[in-house]
Amino acid sequence: MNTNHSALSPIRGPGIFLAQFAGDAAPFNSLDSIGRWVASLGYVGVQIPSWDARLFNLALAAESQTYCDEVRGTLAQHGLQVTELSTHLQGQLVAVHPAYDLPMDGFAPEALRGKPAERTAWAVEQLKLAAKASQRLGLSAHATFSGALAWPYLYPWPQRPAGLIETAFDELARRWRPILDAFDAAGVDVCYEVHPGEDLCDGASYEMFLERVGNHPRANLLYDPSHFVLQQLDYLAYIDCYHERIKAVHVKDAEFNPTGRQGVYGGFQGWKDRAGRFRSLGDGQVDFTAIFSKLTQHGYKGWAVLEWECCIKHPEQGAAEGAPFIRDHLIRVAEKSFDDFAAAGTDEAANRRMLGIG
Instruction: Identify which of 151, 173, 170, 18 has the alpha carbon closest to the alpha carbon of residue 80.
Output: 18
Q: What is the pLDDT of residues 172-210, one digit of tens each?
A: 999 999 999 999 999 999 999 999 999 999 999 999 999
Report the alpha-carbon distance of residue 235 to residue 252 in Å, rounded.
12
Q: What is the pLDDT of residues 232-248, one digit of tens each?
A: 999 999 999 999 999 99
Instruction: Identify which of 36, 75, 19 has the alpha carbon closest to the alpha carbon of residue 306.
Output: 19
Angle at 152 between CA 147 and CA 157, to 5 degrees: 160
pTM assigned to the model? 0.94
Task: Specify the pLDDT at position 8.
Answer: 52
334 pLDDT higher than 90: no
Chain centroid offset of residue 19 CA = 13
Determine the average pLDDT of the residues in 17-31: 97
Q: What is the pLDDT of residues 73-129, one digit of tens each?
A: 999 999 999 999 999 999 999 999 999 999 999 999 999 999 999 999 999 999 999
CATH top-level class for 4-354? Answer: alpha beta
Helix (H) or strand (E) holding 14: strand 12-17
Report the alpha-carbon distance of residue 222 to residue 235 in Å, rounded.
13
Task: Specify the pLDDT at position 6.
Answer: 43
Task: Specify the pLDDT at position 72.
Answer: 98
Residue 273 has a CB neighbour count (10 Å cut-off) of 13
Task: Specify the pLDDT at position 7.
Answer: 43
Instruction: Identify which of 206, 203, 232 has the alpha carbon closest to the alpha carbon of residue 219.
Output: 206
Helix axes 31-40, 65-76, angle to 10 degrees: 30
Residue type, 331: I
Residue type, 254: A
Task: Specify the pLDDT at position 339.
Answer: 72
Percent of the chain with pLDDT over 70: 97
With a CB cutoff of 8 Å and minimum separation 6, the contacts of 98 are 116
Helix (H) or strand (E) holding 16: strand 12-17
Report the alpha-carbon distance of residue 52 to residue 305 in Å, rounded.
18
Cα-only R_g, the chain: 22
Angle at 280 between CA 276 and CA 285, to 5 degrees: 50
Task: Specify the pLDDT at position 344.
Answer: 73
Identify any residues that bridge with 48 across adjacent strands, giving them in sequence order: 85
If you average pLDDT over every residue of the chain, what do you get?
Answer: 95
Q: Domain residue spans in the chain?
A: 4-354
Q: What is the pLDDT of residues 134-182, one digit of tens each?
A: 999 999 999 999 999 999 999 999 999 999 999 999 999 999 999 999 9
Give me the DSSP letters along 312-326. Answer: SS-HHHHHHHHHHHH
